């Protein structure tokens, strides 16, 4: 059984329907990409999983548990952490404090320290800036901090919302290399929402393409990379 299963999930913002029935399945240990244009419902899908948006229909099942009706902090406790769009670092908190807040839902002190050291090992730049305020970091460093903060929850599933947004290609490559490493070493499952289809399909094993709130295409990442429709719509600029 898949670790995460979305069955025909619908969601709305007031009168505007954002998801018209999205079904996604994420296998344990995999990296799954969700692609799509602006407004296709990618972020809403993640928000529905994390409990920030309540689905109006359909079900979201994580590790056999129905998530509908749970609060965001209950969902974090179950093992789903979030790396939000735009990084959303706590600007007035230091790097260390930001990381500690990622572990808020945990009470296993020693293991938290272990994970803290591990995050600084993965992102040495954060170690150098431990006492600096989050707001004073560069975009790339903030993205690293956002990922590190997510990892501090010791999640089984990490939700990543546009981690490449606004970053230089060399930093994007670096960050994805680290994500891959985390995925392999700790077998952290990842659900990755990206507009940058090239980088996403390079690292994911499976992908979904959303169009106006519905899954339009779903296939393995290698097939999607050669899918004409995907190339034209989402990888066009690079060809």
Partner 1 sequence: MLGQQILSGLATGSVYALTAIAVVVVFRNTRTINLAQGDFGMIAAFLGILFIKEFDLNYYVMLPLVVLCSMALGVLVERIVMRPIADSDWLTLFTATLGVYYILHGAAGWIWGRDTKAFPVTFDAEPVDIFGALISQGHLINMGWAAAIGIVLFFFFKYTKQGIAMRAVTDDPETALLMGIPVRFIVLLTWGMAGFLAAFAGVLLAPIVYVSPEMMDEVLIKGYVAAVFGGLYSIPGAIIGALMIGVAENLAGGYLGSHFKTATAFVMIVVLLTFRPQGLFGIQKRREI
Contact residues for partner 1 (CB under 8 A)?
50, 52, 71-73, 75-77, 81-82, 84, 88, 90-93, 97, 100-102, 104-105, 149, 153
Shortest approach of partner 1 to residue 67 CB, angstroms?
Answer: 14
* Smallest distance, partner 1 to C-beta of residue 77, A: 7
CA distance 86 to 104: 21
Pick 93 or 165: Cβ nearer partner 1 = 93
Min. distance of Cβ 224 from partner 1 in angstroms?
29
Which C-beta is closer to partner 1: that of 151 or that of 215? 151
Helix (H) / strand (E) containing 8: strand 4-13
Spatial CB neighbours of 11, under 8 Å, sequence gap ≥ 6: 17, 18, 19, 44, 47, 48, 53, 54, 55, 56
Nearer to partner 1, 151 or 200 (CB): 151
Nearest to 149 by CA among 160, 139, 138: 160
Distance from the Cα of residue 112 to its chain's centroid: 21
Closer residue to partner 1, CB minimum distance, 100 or 214: 100
Query: Using CA atoms, how far apart are residues 212 and 185, in angstroms rounded to an integer?
Result: 36
State in angstroms the smallest separation of the CB of 225 from partner 1. Answer: 31
């Amino acid at each position: 059984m898949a670790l995460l299963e979305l069955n025909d999930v619908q969601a709305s913002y007031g009168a505007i329907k954002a998801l018209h029935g999205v079904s996604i399945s994420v296998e344990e240990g995999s990296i799954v990409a969700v692609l799509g244009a602006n407004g296709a419902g990618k972020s809403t899908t993640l928000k529905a999983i994390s409990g920030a948006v309540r689905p109006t229909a359909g079900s979201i099942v994580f590790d056999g548990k129905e998530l509908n009706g749970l609060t965001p902090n209950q969902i974090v406790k179950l093992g789903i952490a979030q790396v939000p769009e735009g990084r959303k670092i706590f600007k007035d908190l230091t790097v260390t404090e930001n990381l500690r807040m990622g572990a808020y839902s945990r009470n296993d002190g020693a293991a938290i320290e272990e994970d803290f050291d591990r995050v600084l090992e993965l992102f040495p730049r954060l170690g150098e800036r431990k006492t600096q305020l989050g707001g004073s970091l560069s975009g790339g460093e903030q993205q690293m901090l956002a990922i590190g903060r997510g990892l501090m929850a010791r999640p089984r599933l990490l939700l990543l919302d546009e981690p490449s947004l606004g970053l230089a290609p060399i930093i994007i490559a670096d960050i994805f290399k680290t994500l891959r490493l985390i995925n392999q070493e700790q077998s952290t499952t990842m659900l990755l929402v990206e507009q940058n289809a090239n980088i996403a399909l390079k690292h994911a094993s499976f992908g979904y393409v959303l169009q106006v709130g519905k899954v339009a295409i779903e296939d393995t990442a290698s097939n999607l990379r050669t899918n004409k429709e995907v190339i034209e719509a989402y990888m066009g600029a690079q060809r």
